[in-house]
Structure 1
Amino acid sequence: MTNATIKNWAEDDRPREKMMLKGAEALSNAELLAILINNGTRDQSAVDVCKSLLNKVDNDLNRLGRLSIKELLKLKIKGIGEAKAISIAAALELGIRRDAAEKKRDTITHSRDVAAFLKAKLQYKKHEVFAVLFLNQANKIMHYEVLSEGGITGTVADPRIILKKALSHDAVNIILCHNHPSGSFKPSRADRDLTAKIKDAAAMLDMTVLDHIIVSEDGHYSFADEGIL
């Protein structure tokens, strides 16, 4: 297939043909999104519609990935209705899950192992999310679960729920984790107090809190690495 052949295709179909000819890496972000939405409007091609979408988020895919379906629709991009917004959101979520899967380690040996996984899972959240990794004696991950989701001002984690979950998964070690949507990954006084509270409660059941990791788009903070656990 040649470039001349591509020109004979309808404009909305050209990104697909370009991908077949040159591979996905040869396509722009707008062209890749155009394949997802399938067609444009009477006045604009699918690529033009997607360029308008990207302009709304300053061509920032991370910012686009944080938008919910409702928020995508609120951008009021002509040519993107509910069905196309769902397709875009689903594709971006697959990207997030793929990133997290690539960074997941079955056995934790260092804070950076779990931080990369947690950052992939939580960095796009616009509100604080508190999650826990439950591990066995060999530090193999038995279970990962989000236990609470709060507003912009914060989230609350109940030590009783955490320990009950740990017992149900036969965990002996725990790693606490949450995100800071603000971008700063330094722990607050409340973060420190909550960590100490959960650590003391876990010790009573012969469980160990190995770390509390805070992630943001800018990096991560490990209580264990900083010697404050």
Structure 2
Amino acid sequence: MNGKEKFTIKNWDSQDRPREKLLLKGKQSLSDAELIAILIGSGNKTDSAVALSKKILASCQNKINVLNAMSIHDLMKFNGIGEAKAISILTGLELGRRMQLQGIDVKKSITSSKEVFELMQPIIGALKHEEFWVLYLNNSNVVKEKLQLSKGGLTSTVVDLRLLLKKGIEYLATGVILCHNHPSGSLVASTADKKITAKIIAAAATLDIKVLDHLILTEKSYFSFADEGIL
């Protein structure tokens, strides 16, 4: 390269290109692999940071929500990913997840179970553990607040009924929608699911709070108690 020739993007080292691309074209121009490459900083002896990031994404079917469900140990199985890099990846993904949680604060009137699924699937649909959430609604079915009521293992979770009702009073809710995920991928409502739903319905009724629905979510689909007529 002579002194007059431009130092173009083709001349940059592959692991440095995402940073330069971000500076030149903005963050929106970067692919998922390029964004992850910036987080990890470098690759291994045979793969650039971008190539390594592509391998990681390929193992997750190129789905960020599946990557978000991976553990530090899972990520460290990739050659070139140590504990520090794994932590960097999961930290970046967690920030994105929290941004999605804040998005629920946008006042939205719920008109169907599909809307609830679209609201909650990015948050709990791909998790490897079970979580139980409650959406608190006003008279117009506008979501006033959301609450992660419990976080359990792969097969069960404990629901704090007193906290659920306490928050309902605080938010002046007239209705609630219950949501939890099934890491197994099963959309069958278990006996335990039906029992806790009935228990919450009875308790909430004493405070004039109506249980409008209970959704079981997986990564790709959902089961609605209201749609199936079993509330």
TM-score, normalized by length of structure 2? 0.82
Distance 1:203 1:60, change over 3 A: closer
1:39 aligns with 2:24: no
Equivalent position of 1:148 in the other structure: 150
In structure 2, distance between residues paired with 1:159 and 1:44? 51
Q: Secondary structure at the match of 1:12?
A: coil
Query: How much identity, in percent, do the aligned residues show?
Result: 50
Is the 8 Å Cα contact of residues 107 and 144 (structure 2) preserved in structure 1? Answer: no
Unpaired runs of at least 5, structure 1: none
How far apart are 1:162 and its partner, in Å?
1.3
Equivalent position of 1:116 in the other structure: 118
How far apart are 1:191 and its partner, in Å?
0.9
**Structure 2 counterpart of 1:166, one-letter code:** G
Larger mean Cα displacement after TM superposition, 121-130 or 163-172? 163-172
**Structure 2 counterpart of 1:53, one-letter code:** I
How far apart are 1:69 and its partner, in Å?
3.1
How far apart are 1:105 and its partner, in Å?
5.5
Is the 8 Å Cα contact of residues 173 and 208 (structure 1) preserved in structure 2? Answer: yes
Larger mean Cα displacement after TM superposition, 139-148 or 99-108? 99-108
Q: How does 1:95-134 map to 2 (within 5 A)?
A: 95-97=96-98, 106-134=108-136
Distance 1:57 1:121, change over 3 A: closer
2:52 is aligned, of 34, 45, 49, to 49
TM-score, normalized by length of structure 1? 0.83
**Structure 2 counterpart of 1:132, one-letter code:** V
**Number of equivalences:** 226
In structure 2, distance between residues paired with 1:27 and 1:137? 43
Distance 1:144 1:28, change over 3 A: closer
Equivalent position of 1:84 in the other structure: 85
Larger mean Cα displacement after TM superposition, 86-95 or 202-211? 86-95
Larger mean Cα displacement after TM superposition, 124-133 or 39-48? 39-48
Q: Secondary structure at the match of 2:187?
A: coil
1:72 aligns with 2:75: yes
**Structure 1 counterpart of 2:174, one-letter code:** V
**Structure 2 counterpart of 1:198, one-letter code:** I
Is the 8 Å Cα contact of residues 125 and 220 (structure 2) preserved in structure 1? Answer: no
Q: How does 1:177-196 map to 2 (within 5 A)?
A: 177-196=179-198
Unpaired runs of at least 5, structure 2: 1-5
Distance 1:91 1:166, change over 3 A: same
Larger mean Cα displacement after TM superposition, 123-132 or 19-28? 19-28
Distance 1:187 1:144, change over 3 A: same
Equivalent position of 2:200 in the other structure: 198
Question: How far does the alpha carbon of each residue in 1:181-208 deviate from its partner, in whole angstroms, 9 at most, with x for none?
Answer: 1112221121111111110111111111
Q: How does 1:197-216 map to 2 (within 5 A)?
A: 197-216=199-218
Q: Secondary structure at the match of 1:11?
A: coil
In structure 1, distance between residues paired with 2:84 and 2:17? 21
In structure 2, distance between residues paired with 1:29 and 1:201? 45
How far apart are 1:146 and its partner, in Å?
0.8
Larger mean Cα displacement after TM superposition, 98-107 or 193-202? 98-107
> Which structure shows the higher helix fraction?
1
